[in-house]
Structure 1
């Protein structure tokens, strides 16, 4: 949704202003006197030069000249003090306000539907909205400055010039008009440019991460792929720049014509000043004051319309995306407690956004309370997607999901009764203790017991105690992939839940420790329903029942022994995996 500048401002103002309204109120109060002091310097400059001229002619006493000089100096000092305070405090308020708006943005994102993050268009808009949060803050800051500093300054200067000569004010408005038109042009082109380059910018950032982030650079270097990604990065940035250049050229031609008109009006002001002074309509002091202030007025106009509003005009696209995100519908789910750990899927189908094929097709199954079930299948069979449906992260496109007697929909979830260990688990840059207790901060259980259940020798193996931060970024330590996975498993087990879902829980753990972890899972599953997503059929053997998936469908269902006797898909997978070990 594209909004006009005024509409966007009206929407953004309360979001940005309210969190720091007290600080903004103080800043506005001081800024009014700041603007008036700039204009007062011009008026006192005229009186100072007029007093000197009068002193030369003998019409003004020496004391009056000294008094005029003292008043001008005092006003200059006050003006500079106010300028220093405003510049300092404005930065403080801006950073505080931006921090609050960023927190609001992150809170809003946390309430959006998880399935939206599977959309490429949504991710592009999210990137633009993140940039737009800062632009929205700048928009409100600029508006406050215009009202509290620039308006009082130009209002007082306008009255002053009208008293000298109406023509001076008219010429000043002619300078102002082209600058205004220039920024309307920038606003028009800025929105177009942002929409064109946002996908390329996100693509370039992805290539940049492969070259610079700790998680990616090792593999990139070993593969010798740095030059390849650098070439992709340069090509993407080149495409980005070509798109921007196409619009900037048109913008520059229009701006050149408007700037020429502004300089003609600027020359007209000088001509009027000289003419008025020669004819005696303007005093020498007024001539000196206005002549010395023209540059200041012109610079302040450029500051408003080119530096401040100009940047905002170019970034209106990002501001609109920020506002669109803040107004987007939320996933207003109510968290409910599962009565038990039973699961029922009735004719469930699911398709990822912006795709044309169902990832899950007409799945119906029941899992009893306290039952341990393994879901197996080849890569791409839909196992992880099924896990997300079972957890209530994604709603099905058709069919129904019942968790613990509660029918799930877009308005309900059972997250308080669920725990999970994901295949792509988070490596939180927190302490060892926090990495485990974060799953259930209200639990009184000893986190060391859960980690000890997963790895009895963790105190020697991990090179970390409870307070050690697990990140070298914060003077801590890093762990191996297997050690991180053990922490993720301990985190999932630590949480009190009726349903425990494990998605590829031993993918980074060696086969020797894997067999011991199987028994850990059995102990952890006592008293709750456990669903294990795995491609390792040795782990599936410990389950009460095995569900076999293929191409988004459930093709087999039964115990390990039953499935082997059927000589179907599970038997084929078992023989294929056993063959590797026999060889």
Structure 2
């Protein structure tokens, strides 16, 4: 019962969404589908009337006038549904397109309201992958079921009325014949769904393996490392295993339907025997016999089709429910109701006090990633955070950006707890470039301009944009700021990873935030351009706070303060000169890198 209630709830929510999109078309489609479901029985009744009129004319007890009337009604009963069907097809396609747009915009609105921490969580990602198996079209498929239900409902009610008028036993026979259909469909649709659900990981692996033949960077390795047969074997084995399970389920389904057909024939023969007896007894005319047979078989077909659609809809509802779960997901990081509104005009004082953090996990407590961090970043300081992989550098930055909140301790901005500051006010004051930066398939101008997309265009915008490109070294390869960075389109181009990173750095220069955070900003950039970028940071970020995360110790020598992290703790902090004199971990790593660099030069 819980499953049925859920499906009913999901269907209602889908219709509620349709109601919000265009209620007039929704009501029109429901009405027209009701009409389509009942008008087909007008064909049966008018045809049976024609047969009876022909017999009466031959017996000399009737004229052709009634015959002509019945023939006209029969003709209209075929013509009108055709016209109505075309109208329904047009409005259903129009309605589906309208809702497709609204649904995509609704998804964007809901997903963009989430915080990054929620999006990163495994539970959200699993939910998203499950929803994408059918795509958002599963939500619209539920509405198709409502229209199909309207047609079937009208047909079922009309046929019951006709059968009841002819002989009440026909209604009982028809109901008993159709009764097992739902249970068979439900059983095997659930089995197919279970197979598909349990095979989600296999399909993800298959998709990943196929991508090695479709994506350029991966295809290069496939060719050079001769990986074709190895990947083919993995794809084949998983596909064959999945197909065997589906074929086994379909085989059971076919055998069960054979038994179901015999059950249906049993009651069909009973109905035919009953109506033949009635006809021989003169209780009904020959036309009535034809009407009974056509209505009885149509009733079963309608029930069968309707239950099949229910089975299909139950599967669609299971996937659509995941979309509604996504829509209902609430951000874990949000502004408090009494959050302090701050209009930042200068770089703020940033203080970490006894900050510890562990990543949230639905399955249990995880180890601390950061432990008891305490330090201060004064307005306009240039700070470097260094350490080996896994030391907690990027996690520290995520806390400063309030992607997550500390597990213990506090972060203060100008003396106010970061959790008490209105989130968008703080986000507007910072600019961040992560190591895994996004690549925008836009023009060069747009790709840099998204760094501050919300600003009102002015006369200096183009100059500042070109200046940002110059500071990052991107101007060295830019031939036109209207050049599209998307090689799949005509006249579009592709850039190297280093060139993409230069554009990403240009976005940060263009954003010109009060607090700029750079996570390995030159990892794919040559040494000459790297030097140019850091010189630009020093010269053109005066009065702004810059936080640099890097593995290259040579790039942090001019920082005002360096934080050395190890296993989530600050083990050393100070200027480059102070840390070198300390002769600790920083000095050892810096010397090692410098020695390796000199050896490579030799």
TM-score norm. by structure 1 comes to 0.90
- Write the deviation string for residues 294-328 of structure 1: whole angstroms up to 9, x where unpaired: 5544333332211x212122344323323322223
The verdict on how the C-alpha distance between 1:235 and 1:167 changes in structure 2, with shifts beyond 3 A counting, is same
Q: CA offsets per residue over residues 167-203 of structure 1, 9 Å max, x none?
A: 2222221233112222443465466445433333334
- Aligned-pair distance for 1:506? 0.6
Tell me the equivalent position of 1:231. 233
Distance in 1, matches of 2:122 and 2:379, equals 38
Match in the other structure for 2:408: 398
| Residue 343 (structure 1) aligns with | 350
Distance 1:523 1:265, change over 3 A: farther
Partner of 1:357: 367
Contact 1:12 1:323 in 2 (8 A): no
Q: Determine the structure 2 residue equivalent to 1:380.
A: 390
- Match of 1:347, SS state, is strand
Deviation of 1:530 after TM superposition, in Å, equals 0.7
Match of 1:488 in 2: 504
SS in 2 for 1:419: strand
Whether contact under 8 Å (1:375, 1:549) holds in the other structure is yes
Instruction: Name the counterpart of 2:518.
Output: 502
2:452 maps to 1:450: no
What residue number does 2:156 align with? 154
Does residue 419 (structure 1) correspond to residue 431 (structure 2)? The answer is yes
Moved more, 206-215 or 368-377: 206-215
1:112 match: 114
Residues 423 and 505 in structure 1, CA contact (< 8 A), matched pair in contact too? yes
**1:80 maps to which of 71, 82, 86:** 82
TM-superposed CA distance for 1:270, in Å, is: 3.3
In the alignment, the residues of structure 1 paired with residue 406 and residue 248 of structure 2 have an alpha-carbon distance, to the nearest angstrom, of 44
* Aligned twin of 1:272: 274
Quote the offset at 1:97 in angstroms: 2.0
Shift in Å, 1:79: 0.9
Q: Would you say 1:139 and 2:139 are equivalent positions? A: no
TM-score, normalised with respect to structure 2: 0.88
**Any conservation in 2 of the 1:431–1:467 contact (CA below 8 Å)?**
yes
Aligned residues: 578
Structure 2 counterpart of 1:435, from 447, 458, 462: 447
Provide, for residues 111-169 of structure 1, a one-character-per-residue CA deviation record: whole Å limited to 9, x for no partner. 2342234443432221122337432322232123313x222222122211211111222
Tell me whether 499-508 or 138-147 shows the greater mean CA deviation.
138-147
Q: CA RMSD in A?
A: 2.8
1:285-300 superposed matches below 5 A: 285-300=287-302
- The CA deviation string for residues 369-414 of structure 1, in whole angstroms up to 9 with x for no partner, is 1111111111222222222122111222222222344422398522
Deviation of the 1:243 alpha carbon: 6.3
The SS at the match of 1:394 is coil
2:321 aligned residue: 320
Measured at CA, do residues 249 and 360 of structure 1 come closer, stay the same or move farther in structure 2, by a change above 3 Å?
Answer: farther
1:348–1:400 Cα contact (<8 Å) kept: yes
Compared CA separation, residues 256 and 45, structure 1 to 2 (3 A): same
In 1, the alpha carbon distance for the partners of 2:597 and 2:123 equals 45
Q: Any conservation in 2 of the 1:501–1:532 contact (CA below 8 Å)? A: yes
Kindly provide the CA deviation profile for residues 26-75 of structure 1, in whole angstroms up to 9, marking residues without a partner as x: 21232222223222222222222222222222333223323321221122
Contact 2:352 2:375 in 1 (8 A): yes
Cα distance in 2 for residues equivalent to 1:256 and 1:482: 64
Match status 1:60 vs 2:75:
no
Distance 1:207 1:486, change over 3 A: same
Using the TM superposition, name which of 485-494 and 388-397 deviates more: 388-397
- What are the ranges of 5 or more consecutive residues in structure 1 without an aligned counterpart? none
Q: 1:270 to 1:103 in 2, by over 3 A?
A: farther
For structure 1, which segment, 35-44 or 262-271, has the greater mean C-alpha deviation from structure 2 after superposition? 262-271
Contact between 2:356 and 2:370, CA under 8 Å: does it hold in 1?
A: yes
